[in-house]
Amino acid sequence: MSFFLETVISGLLTGVMYSLVALGFVLIFKASGVFNFAQGVMALFAGLTLAGFLTGTVPITHQINSALAMPPWLAIIATVGVMIGLAILIERLVLRHLINQEPIILFMMTLGLAYVLEGAGDLLWGSDVKVLDLGLPSGAVDWLLDGYGLYVDKLEVVAAVVAAVLVTALAIFFQKTRIGRALRAVADDHQAALSVGISLNTIWAIVWAAAGIVALVAGIMWGAKSGVQFSLSLIALKALPVLILGGFDSIPGAIIGGLIIGVGEKVAEVYFGPFVGGAVENWFAYMLALAFLLVRPEGLFGEKIIRRV
């Protein structure tokens, strides 16, 4: 029983990590209808940049270690600055020229963006695996291990807390602030939003900046867990079933979807995997999401699309 419990808890916490990536997707999809495949690479890029700032690496010449190493808080602020700059750049150079294009074109654009960011991240900071040392706690939570014999990773608990804070902050931002209302207006109808004086360009830059910051959080968590490396960009693929399960345009959906996928994946790997030769976690999440979709085609919390002729 305690083993099952441990599996479920570890699944829940992994699910939270997936949700962190899925959140970035949802933000951008909600506000601009763009299916941003580059979210995972953005997390990688943010993680690389942060690791670079922390160690004081000079961009491009990643051989020389200068003495400019920043303390963690400064490095995080600097990385946030970089992600905001990136968002503005993307809006200026790309999005502005692709207004009114079909969703598939915008989706392809983000794939191109993923290539650019991946290459740029490696060019700037080098492609070796980096350790992200922010002083985040790691190892098992002692009292659970001693009292109940459960192994729960501290880092994942921190991730869960951070995710909870992030979602609360985003919810307040979307519901209560001026910009949040503008974002929801844009999400609802681009033209109507334009006609009441909301600047699409500004909104898009803000949304991409927000997604960039969410990507940074995801990058920190995943980077602290398994080092900043190329495979980080592949977590986008882990976040996709979470997305379709929860619905593309629902923030709570991203969280709940993450939890369901996390638990389902872990339980399947432990109890079902051995019978079919293991390594089922690559596709099980997709099959699980698919099963849910057959019942609810817009995801659990996605907005129901009413189609008329």
Partner 1 sequence: MFYREVGQFKTSYAADQAIFPIAQDRWFVIAVALVAFLVVPFFVDAYLLSAILLPFLIFSLAAVGLNILTGYCGQLSLGTGAFMGVGAYSAFKLMTMMPELNLVIVFLASGVITAAVGMLFGLPSLRIKGFYLAVATLAAQFFLVWLFYKWDWLRNYSATGQITVRPRTFFGVLMTGESAAPAAKYLLALAMVAILALGAKNIVRGRFGRSWMAIRDMDVAAELIGIRPLVAKLSAFGVSSFYIGVAGAMMFILWLGAAEGGDTFGIQNSFRVLFMIIIGGLGTILGSFLGAAFLVLMPIALSDTMVDGLGLTAAFAKHLEYVIMGSLIIFFLILEPHGLARLWQIAKEKLRLWPFPY
Task: Output 97 or 176, the one with its CB closest to partner 1.
Answer: 97
Q: Evaluate whether 54 touches 75 at the Cβ level (below 8 Å).
A: yes
Report the nearest approach of partner 1 to the CB of residue 119 (Å).
Answer: 3
Where on the chain is the footprint of partner 1 (CB under 8 A)? Answer: 35, 94, 97-98, 101-105, 107-109, 111-120, 122-123, 127, 237, 240-241, 243-244, 248, 276-277, 279-280, 282-283, 286-287, 289-290, 293-294, 297-299, 307-309
Q: Among residues 76 and 208, whose Cβ is nearest to partner 1?
A: 208
Nearer to partner 1, 100 or 195 (CB): 100
Residue 153 forms beta bridges with which residues? 140
Identify the CA nearest to 216 among candidates 124, 84, 60: 84
> In whole angstroms, how close is the CB of 249 to partner 1 at the nearest point?
11
Instruction: Provide the angle, in degrees to the nearest 10, between the axes of the packed helices 2-32 and 235-246.
Output: 80
Of 68 and 287, nearer to partner 1 (C-beta) is 287
- With respect to partner 1, which residue has the nearer C-beta, 111 or 169? 111
| Shortest Å, Cβ 230 to partner 1 | 11
Nearer to partner 1, 85 or 103 (CB): 103
Residue in 263, 265, 259 with CA at minimum distance from that of residue 19: 259
Least distance (Å) from partner 1 to the CB of residue 307? 5
Q: Please report how close the Cβ of residue 19 comes to partner 1 at its closest, in angstroms.
A: 16
Angle at 308 between CA 304 and CA 309, to 5 degrees: 155
User: CA separation (Å) from 202 to 32, 117, 212, 215, 274?
Assistant: 12, 22, 15, 20, 51
User: Which residue, 103 or 149, is less far from partner 1 as judged by CB?
Assistant: 103
Work out how close the CB of 274 gets to partner 1 at its nearest, in angstroms, rounded to a whole number: 12
Number of H helices and E strands in the chain, helices first, is 13, 0
Q: How near is the Cβ of 46 to partner 1 at its closest, in Å?
A: 17
The amino acid occupying position 153 is: D
Spatial distance between the Cα atoms of 227 and 224, rounded to a whole number of angstroms: 6
Determine the straight-line distance between the first and last CA of the chain, rounded to whole angstroms: 54
Q: Min. distance of Cβ 21 from partner 1 in angstroms?
A: 14
Among 41, 55, 56, CA closest to 229 = 41
Q: Which residues, at least 6 apart from 38, have a Cβ–Cβ distance to it below 8 Å? A: 110, 111, 113, 114, 117, 236
Q: Residue 5 or residue 234: which is nearer to partner 1 going by CB?
A: 234
Count of beta carbons in the 10 Å neighbourhood of residue 199: 13
